[in-house]
A and B are shown apart, each in its own frame.
Chain A
Amino acid sequence: MESQPFAPLSESTYLILLSLAAGPQHGYAIMKSVADLSDGRMQLSTGTLYGAIKRLVNDGWIERFDEADYSGGRDRKAYRLTELGLRALNAEADRLRALLAAHVQVMAG
């Protein structure tokens, strides 16, 4: 994979990207996914969620689109991961994996 210098991600950003890696989601679904992925430890408020979403959209890591099959009577915005976002997510996973490997190596003695 093409190596690109991505800064380490915050936990909330990582979890948001990870939840979108499974497929496009709207805001509330992302919020629930993040809570599920963190075993309920990370409960995002809407302010934190949309602050992060705004930055990710601006950086081109995720994109926003109208969700066509929403049954609530009007269009609803949903988000999906872009190629760049996927690379950032994978880079962060690589970083965490390297950290974990170093940790295991040191602790194993």
Chain B
Amino acid sequence: MRLQSLLTAVYGWLLQLYPRSFQDEYGIEMIDVFADAVGNSAEINTFSLLRIFVRELRDLPRALWREHTTARRKEVLAMGTIHSQPLLLLGSVDDPGTRRDAWLAALPALLIVLIEAIPSLFYAFEIVPWPQNGSSLLGLIITLSVAALLFLVLIYAWRNGWPRWSASWYLYWGVALAVPFFYLLSMWQPTQTLNNSTVVLFVVLPWLIVVWLFKIMRDDPFKGMLLALPVVTVFWSPVREFVDPKVREPINLLIWLLTAGAAYVIVRRGNLRLSLLVTVGVSLINGLLISYAQVYRNSSTMAYRNPPPSFGQVVEWFAPTMIGTAALVLGMLLVWLIWQFGRNLGRHGRWGAALILVALFINLGSFLTSWWVAAELDYVRIWFFDIDTSTAVLGNLFNLSLLLYLVGIGLLIVGMRTRFSAEKTVVLSALLLVPIALPFFFAYPFIFLMNWAQLEFPAILARLTALSANWLFTLGAIWLIATIVLLTVSRHWLSSVRAAP
């Protein structure tokens, strides 16, 4: 009897592996049938009881594969309208999330506010003294509590079929997984030198992150934005090092509060256009705050007592940060839209969209991988923003992606010519240039502002060094915002593409 109950309980647990919709529909019935089956077998002997359980285990992988594949196919079919009219996506309104869901989405950022930002602010303004020797017991309690919370939320999200709010936690679960991994790696290879294994890690991992982010953005843009929000902040946060704590800590607090607020709005409202504007808005404000810290850092001495930077100085650093973060936030979504758009434009359109897609991956991936590339070439670089593109490898990757963008857009325009009026073709061509603009503005300060224009870079673009950096940055920001507004406001007009034969 005990074995029978145990097997039924284990079977109930295994059912959790099925897609949520399948569980809801058939879960209770399946447990009833299994309980009947083992009950009748137990009357014969223990062996037949075990045989039934083994049969379930044997068939489980195939059944899981089939049900998950079917569930995925249904989702794709549901996206059919969006695939045929991709620009309609930008005007889409989904079911608003509940307050609880919205708070769950904001909680990861709020946790950082509670655990790190507020205590640091208290220390910075000497409301409480700096801890000389941190309490290891308190540290242990906080660490274990956070780990337990992460685990509980993970289980809760899993049981509920990975709802939208769960995307806010992806990064934190990733970090929780990475910590023991890097700990083991450091034990295995304690020195800082690069060997093949770490090279693989630093080259492959960023590319995987890019692909992962793209996939999530494609499947559910709301989830993509929830994930991109902390990625952007974490990506740029090291620039706050060596900044006066009285400047740094309020910035830190504000950044995470804004991130939490944006996550709340994205889930609560379920409005893609609003979410996009909130995400970009928060990225802009966070970019401005981080740029302020960046200027401080660049002009700091160890005494941490520099005059506050001027607005002009901040703007200089604002644009690359902002454009870079916006590329991460928006690039994935825009390129996916262009991919769907190109698919409706016949053979030329498909090839054009594919080339743009590849170009974006090369661009993002090469910038993310450049830490390793620079280190390999003996450049002393600390972090992503310290990378210059004057190395031959990066310069050529950048050129390659630019070339692919241009060819891709040329092909898209050829495809559009047969399906749109001339004026629509012009407007759409201008919009399609955005993916070029994002990485270009991102790379600009590294190439021109620091006078590192290299031979590999096209001469015609090198002449842009004569332009004022601030003007270009401003242009980039306006371009970006105008694109979002145009895409969202004129979505119906732009969606009137004739279906490809």
Contacts and interface: CB of A to CB of B under 8 A. Distances in A.
Given A28-B32, A45-B63, 13 more contacts: A43-B55, A45-B58, A45-B60, A46-B33, A46-B34, A46-B56, A47-B56, A47-B63, A48-B63, A50-B26, A51-B63, A54-B67, A76-B29
A27 B59 contact: no
Interface of A: 26-28, 31, 43, 45-51, 53-54, 76-77
Given A46-B56, A47-B56, A27 B29 contact: yes
Contacts of A77: 29
A50 B29 contact: yes
A31 B62 CA distance: 18
Contacts of A48: 59, 62-63
Contacts of B55: 43, 45
Interface residues of B, number: 20
A28 B59 contact: no
A27 B30 CA distance: 8
Nearest to B22: A54
A31 B58 CA distance: 17
B37 interface: yes
Interface in B20-47: 22, 25-26, 29-30, 32-34, 36-37
A53 B26 CA distance: 10
A76 B26 CA distance: 11
B26 A54 contact: yes
A46 B29 CA distance: 9
A47 B60 contact: yes
Q: Is the interface of B mostly helix, strand, loop or mixed?
A: helix
B67 A51 contact: yes
Interface string B95-135: 00000000000000000000000000000000000000000
B347 interface: no
Taking each of B29, B56, B59, B60, which has the highest tally of chain A beta carbons within 10 Å of its own beta carbon? B29
A45 B53 CA distance: 9
A27 B56 contact: no
17 contacts: A26-B33, A27-B33, A28-B36, A31-B33, A31-B37, A45-B56, A45-B58, A45-B59, A45-B63, A46-B30, A47-B64, A50-B22, A51-B63, A51-B67, A54-B67, A76-B29, A76-B32
Q: Closest 9 CB pairs between A and B? A: A47-B63, A45-B59, A27-B33, A28-B36, A28-B33, A50-B26, A46-B30, A45-B56, A45-B55
Interface string B63-74: 110110000000
Interface of B: 22, 25-26, 29-30, 32-34, 36-37, 55-56, 58-60, 62-64, 66-67
Contacts of A43: 55
Contacts of B62: 47-48
B32 A27 contact: yes
A27 B25 CA distance: 13
Contacts of A54: 22, 25-26, 67
A91 B32 CA distance: 33
Given A47-B56, A47-B63, A51-B66, A28 B25 contact: no
A27 B62 CA distance: 20
A43 to B, nearest CB: 6
A45 B34 CA distance: 9
A41 to B, nearest CB: 13
Contacts of A53: 26
A26 B32 CA distance: 10
Contacts of B37: 28, 31, 46
Contacts of B64: 47
A97 B333 CA distance: 55
Contacts of B56: 45-47
Contacts of B59: 45, 47-48
A105 B33 CA distance: 43
A60 to B, nearest CB: 16
Nearest to B58: A45
A46, A47, A51, most chain B CB atoms within 10 A? A47
Residue picked from B33, B60, B62, B64, most chain A C-beta under 10 Å: B33
Nearest to A48: B59
A54 B29 CA distance: 12
A50 B66 contact: no
Nearest to A72: B32
Nearest to A45: B59
A43 B322 CA distance: 61
Contacts of A50: 22, 26, 29-30
A43 B67 CA distance: 20
Nearest to A58: B70
B33 to A, nearest CB: 4
Nearest to B60: A47
A48 B34 CA distance: 12
Contacts of A47: 30, 56, 59-60, 62-64
